[in-house]
Amino acid sequence: MTYDFIIIGAGSAGCVLANRLSANPAHRVLLIEAGPTDWNPLIHMPVGIAMLVSSKGVNWDYSTEPEPKLNDRRLWWPRGKVLGGSSSINAMCYIRGNLGDYDEWAANGNPGWASSDVLPYFMRSQNQERGASELHGTGGLLNVQDLVYTNPLSGMFIEAATQAGYRRNSDFNGRNQEGFGYYQVTQKNAKRCSTASGYLNEAKPRPNLTVLTKCLTRRIIIAGGRAVAVEYERAGKIERADACGEILLCGGAINSPQLLMLSGVGPADELKAHGIPLILDAPGVGANLQDHLDACTIFKSPSGLTYDHTNDLLIGLKYFLFKKGIGTSNIAEAGGFARSKLAPDQRPDIQFHFVPAMLEDHGRKRLPGHGITLHACGLRPRSRGRITLGSADPKAKARIFANYLSDEGNHDLQVLIEAVRLSREILRAQALDGVRSEELHPGASQQSQSELTAFIRARAESIYHPIGTCKMGSDGASVVDSELKVHGIEALRVVDASVMPSLIGGNTNAPTVMIAERAAEWILRPRNQVQAA
């Protein structure tokens, strides 16, 4: 068949585009997803993230190459492989980033992406249950609500942060991002509001939208400098779909550059090494990889309030019968933003996520006893990595070279050391005296610069915010322009977190939804203008 729009990847961005582009019944839209439908009830029960963490059925299950600055460890990178993508497996924290981040994008050669430009699209996407305001919208398809249930330890943590000298903040997406409080979450009626449930479910009944799951896209077919078709594998057979309009690549920071390279668009040497015919030498494809690196400070606890050893059966029963209790929790209920002494401007440079449990190996390993964990990550890393091909076989995983802590001057390392020190300061505040005991990590004896450096190299992990590998811009290292069109190829755009030129100060899901809302307007604009005429 021939479609007006073919969307590759039904993740955080792809589901948004599927809804917006199919709203006009004259548009024939195809959405292709490599993973399954989001039928699994653990996806929709918020606390199910703790039970899905080891499930490969909805996860690409990536790992980096050995990281030289992290003791040659391979870091685990979970990415959603299911309708909704990573919005179906994330912790649901609704964070837009600092408004100054977008002004920086615009100042660096991306017109149309300043804070005043993007705010209307954040508001368009949002249904803020607290009500509309100058910064928040209602009526959107991404529902944002306060947590239904919070662990008492999360409240104690917020009090500890105030005792350590930080302000309370009830809205991290307000004018002032700094401070500590409860996260708002992308949930509706105590259920996860992924882009699949928020956007795609509304669009599925439309006869002009076709959704294919368990279909791996093999390549984009480019002829005469124009993207004209998509080749994909379904049930062991290779099929083709043609596009008379645009092809929209929404695979994310790993899959989007991989598919461009498999399609002949990428660094010439990389494609030659894998025997892929070169269509366009684009050295920026796969480059500029950035991620938030995270250090966890863990204390043991004498309290039985933690989530370490809960009765999962009782939690599930209470949730599915009444939509109440721990089952509604996103685990990372509280957190905050702070400026370290290394912050170059007024924007916070460290983010915290508090978890009332001891997290070992991303929660895949349970430790004996009870405890509390404070995640802390540097928000604007200077280190840059790259995605490369593992093989010309589309089924082979891309190779991830994150190059954490590789920046000249060791700024990223110094920020993380400060993050650990601030974490200790907060967790040792009086409010947690009755529920905090021995420091497990880094360990009370680990105090010096060299000891904290060793701790970070041995234990730091990703907090799952990769971006930048198809960055927007106008220089030779950029892949797409400011309207997300691939340089040098007609009728092809990339719409996902890979287009971000630099990391925003916070979780990346809400910004990815905003990017898709922004792109939908640009994509539809020429057609709307023709129809209006």
By C-alpha distance, which of 126, 153, 67 is closest to 456? 67
The whole-number pLDDT of residue 533 equals: 40
User: Quick one: pLDDT band at residue 366, thresholds 50, 70, 90?
Assistant: confident
What angle, 0 to 180 degrees and rounded to 10, lies between the N-to-C axes of helices 509-532 and 115-125? 90
pLDDT digits (tens, 9 = 90+) for 168-209: 999 999 999 999 999 999 999 999 999 999 999 999 999 999
The whole-number pLDDT of residue 27 equals: 98
What angle, 0 to 180 degrees and rounded to 10, lies between the N-to-C axes of helices 14-22 and 509-532? 20
pLDDT digits (tens, 9 = 90+) for 242-253: 999 999 999 999
pLDDT digits (tens, 9 = 90+) for 307-353: 999 999 999 999 999 999 999 999 999 999 999 999 999 999 999 99
User: Quick one: pLDDT band at residue 529, thresholds 50, 70, 90?
Assistant: low
pLDDT digits (tens, 9 = 90+) for 471-518: 999 999 999 999 999 999 999 999 999 999 999 999 999 999 999 999
pLDDT at 530 over 60: no
**What are the start-end ranges of the H helices in 380-437?**
411-427
The whole-number pLDDT of residue 110 equals: 97
State the Cα–Cα distance between residues 194 and 498, nearest whole angstrom.
19
Average model confidence (pLDDT) for the chain? 96
- What does the DSSP assignment read for 467-487? B-TT-BSSSTT-SB-TT-BBT
Strands 439-441 and 293-301, bridge-based pairing:
antiparallel
Angle at 84 between CA 97 and CA 261, to 5 degrees: 85
**Averaged pLDDT for residues 417-434:** 98
The whole-number pLDDT of residue 38 equals: 97
Percent of the chain surpassing pLDDT 90: 95
The whole-number pLDDT of residue 404 equals: 98
Is the whole model's pTM more than 0.95, yes or no? yes
The whole-number pLDDT of residue 528 equals: 63
Point out the residues that are catalytic: 465
Residues 6+ positions from 321 with CB-CB distance below 8 Å: none
pLDDT digits (tens, 9 = 90+) for 51-65: 888 777 899 999 999
Angle at 101 between CA 247 and CA 253, to 5 degrees: 35
Domains of the chain, start order: 1-54+80-133+197-286+467-533 (3.50.50.60), 148-182+293-378+405-459 (3.30.410.40)
The whole-number pLDDT of residue 527 equals: 61
Partner residues linked to 494 by β-bridges? 249
By C-alpha distance, which of 17, 72, 6 is closest to 513? 17
**Averaged pLDDT for residues 98-121:** 97
pLDDT digits (tens, 9 = 90+) for 431-481: 999 999 999 999 999 999 999 999 999 999 999 999 999 999 999 999 999
Which two three-digit tokens encode residue 448? 């010096």
SS3 219: strand
